[in-house]
Amino acid sequence: MKVITLTRDTFPQACQQLAAKIGAQPEVLVAIRTGGAYLGAELCRVWELPPERYVEVELQRPSTAAKQGIIARIISKLPRAVADLLRVVEATVLSWMPRKPRRFEYTAEQLARLPQGARVLVVDDAVDSGMTMLAVVNATTAAVGTAPATAAIVTTCADPAIRPDFSLYNNVLIRFPWSKDAK
Protein backbone atom coordinates (compact mmCIF):
# COMPACT_ATOMS: atom_id res chain seq x y z
CA MET A 1 0.00 0.00 0.00
CA LYS A 2 1.31 3.41 -0.95
CA VAL A 3 1.87 6.23 1.59
CA ILE A 4 1.33 9.82 0.41
CA THR A 5 2.50 12.82 2.43
CA LEU A 6 0.46 16.00 2.65
CA THR A 7 2.40 18.94 4.06
CA ARG A 8 1.25 22.19 5.65
CA ASP A 9 1.45 23.65 2.12
CA THR A 10 -0.30 20.85 0.23
CA PHE A 11 -3.04 20.06 2.78
CA PRO A 12 -5.02 23.28 2.09
CA GLN A 13 -4.79 22.54 -1.64
CA ALA A 14 -6.20 19.05 -1.04
CA CYS A 15 -9.06 20.60 0.98
CA GLN A 16 -9.84 22.98 -1.88
CA GLN A 17 -9.87 20.05 -4.32
CA LEU A 18 -12.23 18.15 -2.02
CA ALA A 19 -14.51 21.20 -1.68
CA ALA A 20 -14.63 21.48 -5.47
CA LYS A 21 -15.52 17.79 -5.75
CA ILE A 22 -18.32 18.22 -3.18
CA GLY A 23 -19.69 21.20 -5.06
CA ALA A 24 -22.57 22.78 -3.15
CA GLN A 25 -21.63 23.87 0.33
CA PRO A 26 -23.61 22.34 3.18
CA GLU A 27 -25.87 24.24 5.55
CA VAL A 28 -23.99 22.65 8.46
CA LEU A 29 -20.54 21.05 8.62
CA VAL A 30 -19.84 18.34 11.25
CA ALA A 31 -16.15 17.47 11.68
CA ILE A 32 -14.81 14.41 13.49
CA ARG A 33 -11.87 15.26 15.76
CA THR A 34 -8.97 15.12 15.62
CA GLY A 35 -7.95 14.97 11.98
CA GLY A 36 -11.41 15.83 10.67
CA ALA A 37 -11.28 19.10 12.62
CA TYR A 38 -8.33 20.24 10.50
CA LEU A 39 -10.31 19.39 7.37
CA GLY A 40 -13.45 21.01 8.80
CA ALA A 41 -11.64 24.24 9.68
CA GLU A 42 -10.12 24.43 6.20
CA LEU A 43 -13.48 23.77 4.50
CA CYS A 44 -15.04 26.51 6.65
CA ARG A 45 -12.40 28.90 5.29
CA VAL A 46 -12.99 27.77 1.70
CA TRP A 47 -16.77 28.11 1.99
CA GLU A 48 -16.72 31.03 4.44
CA LEU A 49 -19.04 29.15 6.79
CA PRO A 50 -19.87 31.05 9.99
CA PRO A 51 -18.99 29.39 13.32
CA GLU A 52 -22.64 28.65 14.16
CA ARG A 53 -22.79 26.33 11.12
CA TYR A 54 -19.79 24.26 12.26
CA VAL A 55 -19.77 21.46 14.85
CA GLU A 56 -16.87 19.27 16.02
CA VAL A 57 -17.49 15.87 17.59
CA GLU A 58 -15.03 13.38 19.02
CA LEU A 59 -14.77 9.65 18.53
CA GLN A 60 -11.49 7.79 17.98
CA ARG A 61 -10.54 4.16 17.66
CA PRO A 62 -8.45 2.81 20.56
CA SER A 63 -5.26 2.52 18.47
CA THR A 64 -5.37 6.29 17.81
CA ALA A 65 -5.37 7.03 21.52
CA ALA A 66 -2.57 4.50 22.03
CA LYS A 67 -0.26 6.49 19.75
CA GLN A 68 0.04 9.32 22.28
CA GLY A 69 2.96 9.94 24.64
CA ILE A 70 6.15 7.92 24.34
CA ILE A 71 4.96 6.03 21.26
CA ALA A 72 4.45 9.35 19.45
CA ARG A 73 7.97 10.47 20.37
CA ILE A 74 9.45 7.22 19.07
CA ILE A 75 7.43 7.31 15.83
CA SER A 76 8.48 10.90 15.15
CA LYS A 77 12.16 9.91 15.20
CA LEU A 78 11.91 6.97 12.79
CA PRO A 79 13.24 7.17 9.23
CA ARG A 80 10.46 7.80 6.69
CA ALA A 81 10.72 4.29 5.16
CA VAL A 82 10.30 2.64 8.58
CA ALA A 83 7.38 4.93 9.46
CA ASP A 84 5.74 4.06 6.11
CA LEU A 85 6.17 0.35 6.81
CA LEU A 86 4.61 0.73 10.26
CA ARG A 87 1.64 2.57 8.71
CA VAL A 88 1.10 -0.29 6.26
CA VAL A 89 1.37 -2.89 9.04
CA GLU A 90 -1.11 -0.95 11.21
CA ALA A 91 -3.59 -0.64 8.32
CA THR A 92 -3.26 -4.36 7.58
CA VAL A 93 -3.80 -5.36 11.22
CA LEU A 94 -6.80 -3.02 11.51
CA SER A 95 -8.31 -4.57 8.37
CA TRP A 96 -8.22 -8.01 10.03
CA MET A 97 -9.87 -6.85 13.25
CA PRO A 98 -13.60 -7.36 13.73
CA ARG A 99 -15.66 -4.20 13.29
CA LYS A 100 -17.57 -3.29 16.39
CA PRO A 101 -20.13 -0.52 16.68
CA ARG A 102 -18.76 2.40 18.67
CA ARG A 103 -20.54 4.40 21.30
CA PHE A 104 -20.56 7.98 20.20
CA GLU A 105 -19.77 10.42 23.00
CA TYR A 106 -21.14 13.92 22.49
CA THR A 107 -22.96 16.54 24.42
CA ALA A 108 -26.62 17.05 23.58
CA GLU A 109 -25.99 20.68 22.66
CA GLN A 110 -23.55 19.75 19.87
CA LEU A 111 -26.12 17.95 17.78
CA ALA A 112 -29.23 19.52 19.29
CA ARG A 113 -28.32 22.82 17.66
CA LEU A 114 -28.49 21.25 14.21
CA PRO A 115 -31.66 22.41 12.43
CA GLN A 116 -34.15 19.70 11.45
CA GLY A 117 -33.85 18.77 7.78
CA ALA A 118 -30.58 20.70 7.33
CA ARG A 119 -28.16 19.71 4.56
CA VAL A 120 -25.31 18.40 6.71
CA LEU A 121 -21.86 17.29 5.63
CA VAL A 122 -19.87 15.01 7.98
CA VAL A 123 -16.11 15.11 7.37
CA ASP A 124 -13.07 13.25 8.62
CA ASP A 125 -9.49 13.25 7.41
CA ALA A 126 -9.40 9.49 6.78
CA VAL A 127 -11.89 6.63 6.70
CA ASP A 128 -10.28 3.33 7.63
CA SER A 129 -12.79 0.75 8.88
CA GLY A 130 -15.55 3.35 8.55
CA MET A 131 -16.93 2.62 12.02
CA THR A 132 -16.17 6.10 13.37
CA MET A 133 -17.84 7.88 10.46
CA LEU A 134 -20.79 5.46 10.58
CA ALA A 135 -21.37 6.24 14.27
CA VAL A 136 -21.27 9.99 13.63
CA VAL A 137 -23.54 9.69 10.57
CA ASN A 138 -26.08 7.70 12.61
CA ALA A 139 -26.06 10.26 15.44
CA THR A 140 -26.32 13.16 12.99
CA THR A 141 -29.18 11.48 11.12
CA ALA A 142 -31.03 11.01 14.41
CA ALA A 143 -30.49 14.70 15.25
CA VAL A 144 -31.59 16.26 11.93
CA GLY A 145 -33.94 13.64 10.56
CA THR A 146 -32.08 13.21 7.25
CA ALA A 147 -28.90 11.39 6.32
CA PRO A 148 -25.89 13.70 5.92
CA ALA A 149 -23.47 13.68 3.02
CA THR A 150 -19.97 12.47 3.92
CA ALA A 151 -16.45 13.37 2.82
CA ALA A 152 -12.86 12.47 3.66
CA ILE A 153 -9.48 13.19 2.15
CA VAL A 154 -8.77 9.43 1.96
CA THR A 155 -10.58 6.11 2.19
CA THR A 156 -7.83 3.69 3.11
CA CYS A 157 -9.61 0.36 2.98
CA ALA A 158 -11.45 -1.33 0.13
CA ASP A 159 -14.61 -2.15 2.09
CA PRO A 160 -15.27 0.32 4.91
CA ALA A 161 -18.52 0.13 6.90
CA ILE A 162 -19.42 3.40 5.20
CA ARG A 163 -17.80 4.80 2.08
CA PRO A 164 -17.69 8.61 1.99
CA ASP A 165 -19.74 10.24 -0.75
CA PHE A 166 -16.65 12.31 -1.61
CA SER A 167 -12.95 11.53 -1.22
CA LEU A 168 -9.75 12.48 -2.99
CA TYR A 169 -7.81 9.26 -2.49
CA ASN A 170 -8.72 5.60 -2.19
CA ASN A 171 -6.72 2.57 -1.05
CA VAL A 172 -3.68 4.60 0.00
CA LEU A 173 -2.42 5.89 3.33
CA ILE A 174 -1.91 9.60 3.99
CA ARG A 175 0.67 11.18 6.28
CA PHE A 176 -1.03 14.40 7.34
CA PRO A 177 0.83 17.45 8.71
CA TRP A 178 -0.39 16.57 12.25
CA SER A 179 0.60 12.87 11.99
CA LYS A 180 2.98 11.63 14.66
CA ASP A 181 5.58 10.80 11.98
CA ALA A 182 5.27 14.06 10.00
CA LYS A 183 8.51 15.94 9.75
Tell me the CATH number of domain 3-175, given options 3.30.1370.10, 2.60.40.1220, 3.30.1330.10, 3.40.50.2020. Answer: 3.40.50.2020
Residue of 110, 133, 128 whose CA lies nearest to 32: 133
DSSP per-residue string spanning 143-180: HHSSPPEEEEEEE-SSS-SS--SEEEEESSEEE-TTST
Residue-level pLDDT at 104? 55
**Closest Cα to residue 183, out of 12, 3, 1, 8?**
8
Q: Residue 180: its pLDDT value, please?
A: 78
Least Cα distance to 181 among 50, 104, 84 occurs for 84
Helix (H) or strand (E) holding 42: helix 35-47
The set of long-range contacts for 168-173, using a CB threshold of 8 Å and a minimum separation of 24, is 168/14, 168/17, 168/18, 168/21, 169/4, 171/1, 172/1, 172/2, 172/3, 172/4, 173/1, 173/2, 173/3, 173/4, 173/84, 173/87, 173/88, 173/91
Q: What is the pLDDT of residue 71?
A: 63
pLDDT of residue 111: 76
Domain ranges of the chain: 3-175
The pLDDT value given to residue 61: 47
Q: What is the pLDDT along the chain (183 residues), one digit of tens a residue?
A: 898 999 999 999 999 999 999 999 999 999 998 899 999 999 999 999 999 899 998 865 454 454 455 566 666 666 767 666 666 666 666 666 666 665 555 554 677 778 899 999 999 999 988 988 998 998 899 899 999 999 999 999 888 999 999 999 999 999 999 987 777
Q: How many residues does the chain have?
A: 183
